[in-house]
Amino acid sequence: MLKHWWKALTILILAYVFLAGLMSPVPKLPILHEAIRNTFFHPPLWIAMMTLLLASAIFSIRYLRKGKLDDDLISVELANTALLFGVLGCITGSVWAYFAWGDLWPNDPKTNGVAVGMLLYLAYFVLRGSVDDEIRRARLSAVYNIFAFAVFIPLILILPRLTDSLHPGNGGNPGFNQYDADNSIKRIIRPAFVGFTLLGFWITQLRVRLRRLETLLDEQDDLNKASTKQSSDLQNTSDL
């Protein structure tokens, strides 16, 4: 049970984040008001997503170096979980944007960059589904995954800082340091970064274990079919 300590820690951290994030007092800031509580969910989801995408790219590099299909499996499942967190990040961001700026999806460099980045990773999954050969699929998708990560990070972290953006820390807008200077924000958002990231790795671990089990069952099914066919052939030979 000791090896599962981080899962218990994940549950405790996220329970604290949700309860404290929704119930504890927060600074009364203009425009944001109570919507500042989204600070505990939206940025941590994005941080978790980027961490998972980085890990996915690392496992793609490992596959290209060692050729182990298990590394490709872990890489794609990390990307799957990251995409889930990206969707949740978009939803929480849209809700926040509606209350702060009056628009669910404002014409903003960072939101547009996120949309392009999500499309890049959707194309990654389309690519994987279009190649039948297992080795060729793993090799092509690993190269594409590394490329997608190298493009995605500048889209959401660098380019918005070079132009006007509504998001904090971009285009001359003050960063989140202005918001999290208050301990009521700091003591919740920092554990949230850790909790959501750990949750992402936990979900990925479950998905990887499920995929491995499916692979074993498929291999066992193929062996049973081959054994049945061999027995049938032997029976037909003996009848002759």
| CA-based nearest residue to 96, from 171, 4, 44, 31 | 31
Distance of alpha carbon 79 from alpha carbon 121, whole angstroms: 8
Instruction: Tell me the domain boundaries of the chain.
Output: 7-223
**50 contacts: CB under 8 Å, gap ≥ 6:** 82, 153, 156
Q: % helix / strand / coil in the chain, to the nearest 5?
A: 85, 0, 15
The one-digit pLDDT tens for each residue of the chain (240 residues) are: 567 888 999 999 999 999 988 888 777 766 667 778 888 898 899 999 999 999 999 999 999 999 899 999 999 999 999 999 999 998 988 888 887 777 788 777 778 888 888 899 999 999 998 988 889 999 999 999 999 999 998 888 877 777 766 665 554 444 455 554 567 788 888 999 999 999 999 999 999 999 999 888 877 766 666 666 666 655 655 555
Q: For the whole model, what pTM was predicted?
A: 0.84
7-223 fold = Four Helix Bundle (Hemerythrin (Met), subunit A) (1.20.120)
